[in-house]
Amino acid sequence: MADLVTAHADDGVQLEGLFWDAPSRDAGFILIHGFGSRFYAQVVGRVAEGLASRGYPAVSGNTRGHDYGAFVVQPDGTTRLGGSAWEDPSEGPLDVAGWVAWMERRVAPRQTIVIGHSLGAWKVAMYQAQRRDRRVGGLVLMSPPLAGAPRGTRSEVHELAQRMVAEGRGDELMPAANSRMGRLSARTVAARAAGAWPADLPSMLPTAAVPILVTYGDKESESSARLAALSHLQPAVTGHLIAGGDHNYSGRWEDLASRVVAWLQTREGSRG
């Protein structure tokens, strides 16, 4: 049975999640959702549950970018607009830090493994690349995008977003849809422009300095090519295709949990 829990990001923003306890203290898992998703989405919730059923405590936690729109509770109790339409993804490491600290307090595992799905994979990779947190023993990146800035966004769209932010209109939605979720705020589009954060995943991962498992579903577009783009980072990166898996690993959550545990135990065996 899962417990509803609360953590606080490095800047004090309140975050909610679900925690499944389990007896092992060899490793604790943190799962971070993707763009427009949430802590109880099946792709993170079911995998967390699967890890707990295999003996490892796991928490599925929100970031301030959960859902399309949300009120983010700040340290002084006031709220501001958040959610995927109003988030700055570069703030993601602040949220990951909050969950790592929460895991340390609640479980105190020998190591923490941080798992991110889709855009959440970028957030956990940025966190570890920036901080090299010694509490983190590894990363699992589920279906991460390779490029830092969204593909296909025209330069004039970014320029408009930057003008709107400069004019104090950053919270306004852009005049046209610019993501599969619909319209995004000017500050979110500006924050995701090329040059605003790391250019690509392959150049960022080596600086994380921990073992990494990357997975894709074999039904995903370009999944084999994306794994191949990371293969030169071996042996730091282990790649695996989940048979029958789509981007959300629908119906393949147990397979994914098993793969994560097998990766962890193989690493532990090689250390011994």
Per residue in 92-133, pLDDT (tens digit) is 999 999 999 999 999 999 999 999 999 999 999 999 999 999
Q: Is residue 205 part of a domain?
A: no
**236 CB-contact burial (10 Å; exposed 0-12 / middle 13-18 / buried 19+):** middle
**Same domain for 45 and 175?**
no
pLDDT in tens, 202-253: 989 999 999 999 999 999 999 999 999 987 787 789 999 999 999 999 999 9
**Same domain for 143 and 265?**
yes
What is the C-alpha to C-alpha distance for residues 106 and 8, in angstroms, rounded to an integer?
Answer: 13
pLDDT given for residue 179 in this prediction: 66
Q: Is residue 85 part of a domain?
A: yes
**Same domain for 79 and 189?**
no
* High-pLDDT (> 70) share of the chain, %: 94
- Distance from first CA to last CA of the chain, Å, rounded? 33
Q: Is residue 155 part of a domain?
A: yes
**Same domain for 180 and 235?**
no
**Cis peptide bond upstream of 57, omega within 30:** no
Q: In the numeric block, which tokens belong to residue 75?
A: 């340290």
pLDDT given for residue 50 in this prediction: 98
pLDDT at 87 over 50: yes
**What single letter denotes the amino acid at residue 41?**
A
3 state SS of 115: strand
Q: Is residue 206 part of a domain?
A: no
**Same domain for 83 and 140?**
yes
3 state SS of 215: strand
**Same domain for 28 and 74?**
yes
What is the C-alpha to C-alpha distance for residues 270 and 25, in angstroms, rounded to an integer?
Answer: 19
**Same domain for 91 and 159?**
no
Q: Is residue 204 part of a domain?
A: no
- Up-side HSE of residue 177: CA atoms within 13 Å toward CB? 5
| CB atoms inside a 10 Å sphere around CB 180 | 8
Chosen domain end from 163, 196, 229? 196
| pTM (2 d.p.) | 0.94
What is the C-alpha to C-alpha distance for residues 66 and 92, in angstroms, rounded to an integer?
Answer: 11
**Same domain for 80 and 143?**
yes
Q: Is residue 254 part of a domain?
A: yes
| CB atoms inside a 10 Å sphere around CB 156 | 8
* High-pLDDT (> 90) share of the chain, %: 79
DSSP letter, residue 110: S
Query: Does an H or E element contain 58, and which?
Result: strand 58-61
Number of structural domains, the chain? Answer: 2
pLDDT given for residue 272 in this prediction: 46
Structural domain harbouring 13? 3-147+211-271
**Same domain for 21 and 121?**
yes
Residue 248: name the closest of 33, 82, 6 by CA. Answer: 33
Q: Indicate which CATH number applies to the domain containing 11.
A: 3.40.50.1820
- Among 42-46, 134-138, 153-157, 160-164, name the one with the lowest average pLDDT: 153-157
Q: Is residue 90 part of a domain?
A: yes
**Same domain for 127 and 219?**
yes
Q: Is residue 201 part of a domain?
A: no
**Same domain for 129 and 258?**
yes
Residue with tokens 């790649």, as numbered in its chain: 239
Vertex 213 angle, CA 207 and 219, to 5°: 125
For all residues of the chain together, what is the average pLDDT? 92
